[in-house]
């Protein structure tokens, strides 16, 4: 294992799965799983597995965006063509394009009409590592494939064509381990925003090597 990548609580950083085996060791989440406040969903999504095709990763960093009173949230400006999915049912994908270059994946939270969501900021790669390496043209450490919101969407080939797709089943899916791994959650302010910059709404698997930069 290379420098800066010793971490083993679960799963080992060099563990590789097929997505078929991942599906075997995990279970689907219900729509009800997503129907809660964004802060709560952001915590619960840590350690869950995101699967797309033959590629997959474990969620280790998230941020909650609360909706109308949270000026950092896209939904705070109201319902538009871009943000309309946030006002719909929970458990859908909100994918948006930013900086002329990157796609970011959010999970819609809350009940219908309440536009909370959770930004997925980092994954630990679990399946399809070589495919991710090709997509990202990345030769460095495995964690570098998915340790950022724009990086993980590129690695898993998630784009705006997934806008509005349900995540409890289907081609792009979130599942959870049959027994949840033990870890500590750390809370910090969110990254890269101007408004509400000190609100403690970023949640990370404490000490995990695949977190985004700071």
Under the rule (CB under 7 A), what is the footprint of DNA? 63, 65, 72-75, 77, 80-83, 94, 96-102, 104, 106, 117, 119, 136, 138, 144, 148-152, 160, 190-194, 212-213
Cα 202 to chain centroid distance, Å, stands at: 12
In terms of CB distance, is 10 or 88 closer to DNA? 88
CB of 92 to DNA, least distance (A): 13
In terms of CB distance, is 150 or 209 closer to DNA? 150
Coil, strand or helix at 205: strand
CB of 159 to DNA, least distance (A): 11
For the residues of 121-178, what is the DSSP string, one character each? EEEEEEE-HHHHHHHHT--S-GGGGTSSHHHHHHHHT--GGGTT-BSSSSSEEEEEES
- In angstroms, rounded to a whole number, what is the distance separating the alpha carbons of residues 207 and 7? 9
In terms of CB distance, is 64 or 127 closer to DNA? 64
For the residues of 175-193, what is the DSSP string, one character each? EEESSPPP--EEEEPPSS-
CB of 132 to DNA, least distance (A): 12
In terms of CB distance, is 51 or 211 closer to DNA? 211
In terms of CB distance, is 26 or 64 closer to DNA? 64
Local structure of residue 11 (DSSP, 8 states): S
CB of 82 to DNA, least distance (A): 4
């Amino acid at each position: 294992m290379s420098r800066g990548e010793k971490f083993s609580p679960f799963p080992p950083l060099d563990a590789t799965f097929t997505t078929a085996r991942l599906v075997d060791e995990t279970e689907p989440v219900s729509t009800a799983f997503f129907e809660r406040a964004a802060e709560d969903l952001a915590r619960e999504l840590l350690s869950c597995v995101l699967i797309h095709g033959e590629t997959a990763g474990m969620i280790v960093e998230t941020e909650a965006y609360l909706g109308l009173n949270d000026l950092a949230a896209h939904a705070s400006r109201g319902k538009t063509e871009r943000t309309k999915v946030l006002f719909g049912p929970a458990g859908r994908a909100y994918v948006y394009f930013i900086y002329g270059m990157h796609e970011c994946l959010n999970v819609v939270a809350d009940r219908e009409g309440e536009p909370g969501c959770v930004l997925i900021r980092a994954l630990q790669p679990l399946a399809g590592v070589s495919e991710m390496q090709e997509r990202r043209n990345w030769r460095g450490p495995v964690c570098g494939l998915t340790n950022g919101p724009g990086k993980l969407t590129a690695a898993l080939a998630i784009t705006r064509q997934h806008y509005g797709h349900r995540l409890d089943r289907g081609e792009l899916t979130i599942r959870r381990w049959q027994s949840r791994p033990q870890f500590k959650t750390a809370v910090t302010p969110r990254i890269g925003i101007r408004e509400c910059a000190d609100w403690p709404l970023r949640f990370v698997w404490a000490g995990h090597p695949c977190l985004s930069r700071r």
